[in-house]
Each structure stands twice: as C-alpha cells, then as structure tokens.
Amino acid sequence: MSGNQGGCLCGAVRYSFAGDPAAAMVCHCSHCQKQSGSAFSTIIGVPETAFTMDGAPVTYRDEGESGKAVERIFCGSCGSPLISKVEVAPGMVWVKAGTLDDTSAFQPAMHIWTKSKQCWVDTGAIPAFETNPG
C-alpha cells in the first residue's frame, strides 16, 4: 500500500507508518458506528512500532462490544477519528482508512461485528464475521 500517511480534517494531527498494513477490514460494531457517525468504520491494522503521530490528539477510553478496552484517538480541534488501540489486538494501531491522504489502495479483506451491522449494508463476497474472527 502506498501513501502511508494521513491526518485529521484540520491538519493539526498527522501520522505516518512504515510498511504495508497487517490487516484491512470494515467494523460494524455499534461503537464504531457511533464514533464514525456512519454505518461502519473502515480500518487498517498497523504494528504500533511502525506508527508515528505528530500533534496533540485526544484519547477517549471506551469498552468495545467484546467487553475489552478500546482507546479511541481523535483530533481535539476538528474531532476527526484517527486511530484506535484495542486490548484484543495488543501492539497494533487501527488507523481509520478515511484519514489516509490517499485512500485508493484500501481494500478490506473482511467485515467484523456484522451482528451489529445495519440491515441495508451488503457485505459482498468477502468474509464476514458476527464478532471478532476466531
């Protein structure tokens, strides 16, 4: 994937990461719906050691539908959701794909938490899991 950098709407927070993402997916959990203001969240998994962020983001500590901790990190100025860190995937940063400078290479490999998906969303031909994949 090229274009391994991005940031918030106002430009106050910028990030970059080295290498290709380890995962690309669409999350349909109710918390991702609320934080995105949409039917789902498009995310890419990046090793935390390959990720850097500049600026002063704000963190909201949440508990996901799994019951595990989720840190939702966003711009304190414009409110753009940028990344999440989840207890069920230590060492990974989940970048909100819509915040990439170049989103053209994003291709989700799966849908997760489809038990919460909106009834009008079609998951298509890629794998779909009711919760986290086993």
Of the pLDDT bands very low, low, confident and very high (cuts 50, 70, 90), residue 1 is: very low
In the chain, % of residues over pLDDT 70: 98
5-116 belongs to CATH 3.90.1590.10: yes
Dist. CA 12–CA 68, nearest whole Å: 29
The mean of the pLDDT values for the chain is 93
pLDDT of the residue at 67: 85
Instruction: Return the pLDDT at 53.
Output: 97
Please determine, for residue 57, whether its predicted confidence score (pLDDT) is greater than 90.
yes
**pLDDT score recorded for residue 8:** 98
Each residue's pLDDT tens digit, 64-103: 877 889 999 999 999 999 999 999 899 999 999 999 999 9
Tell me which long-range contacts 8-12 makes (C-beta under 8 A, separation of at least 24): 8/55, 8/74, 8/75, 8/77, 8/78, 8/80, 8/82, 8/99, 9/75, 9/78, 9/79, 9/80, 10/75, 10/77, 10/78, 10/80, 12/55, 12/56, 12/75, 12/76, 12/77, 12/78
If you average pLDDT over residues 31-41, what whole number do you get? 93
In which band, very low, low, confident or very high, does the pLDDT at 132 lie, cut at 50, 70 and 90? confident
- pTM for the predicted model, two decimal places: 0.91
The domain segmentation of the chain, as residue ranges, is 5-116
